[in-house]
Amino acid sequence: MKSSKAQAVRWLSRLMQREQIDTLEKPAEGNVFLFTIEGFCEQNPTFFICRKEEGLRIGYHSVSENPSGSPPVPVERHLIEWHVLESSTATERQERILNTLVATIRARKKQYRTCQYCNVKYPPERGSGQKTCYNCAAPRSPAAF
């Protein structure tokens, strides 16, 4: 399994070739590109780059508390403004986007905890406290949910 960074490098370079996400030549608003890290934990963490009026927004998807319930919620962590991208070379743009994406991935992975009962890695929104995942906590304290 490749490292998260290697996965991000491969995904981003393909995306930039195919979609030119880093220039304003295409309509700015609305395109969302999703990237999933494999091999980190059971439920692969998902990240996004979104083209917006003001620039590229980068963040991750928060996992819904109920697996069969609401869709994941996008959490924005960084904005790279168009004027910054426009004043950079193609190589600089790719580096900047990659560094921001990798920083987002690192910060998100740091949030994950390992459950003391089932040893599964879980994001904070899927857990109950620092050490117990939602699945293990649910039968013990149903009233809390």
The nearest distance, CB 3 to Zn ion, in angstroms, is 26
DSSP 97: H
138 forms part of the interface with Zn ion (CB under 5 A): no
Give least dist CB 37 to Zn ion, A. 20
In the list 8, 56, 85, 133, the residue contacting Zn ion (rule: CB under 5 A) is 133
List the x/- string, 88-117, binding to Zn ion by CB under 5 A.
Answer: ---------------------------x-x
DSSP code for 118: T
State how far Cα 95 lies from the chain centre: 18
136 binds Zn ion (CB under 5 A): yes
Q: From residue 48, how far is each of 57, 60, 106 by CA, in Å?
A: 8, 6, 14
CB-based contacts of 142: which residues, under 8 Å, 6+ apart? none
Shortest Å distance, C-beta 47 to Zn ion: 24
Q: Which two tokens stand for residue 4?
A: 């998260």
Residues that bind Zn ion (CB under 5 A): 115, 117-118, 133, 136
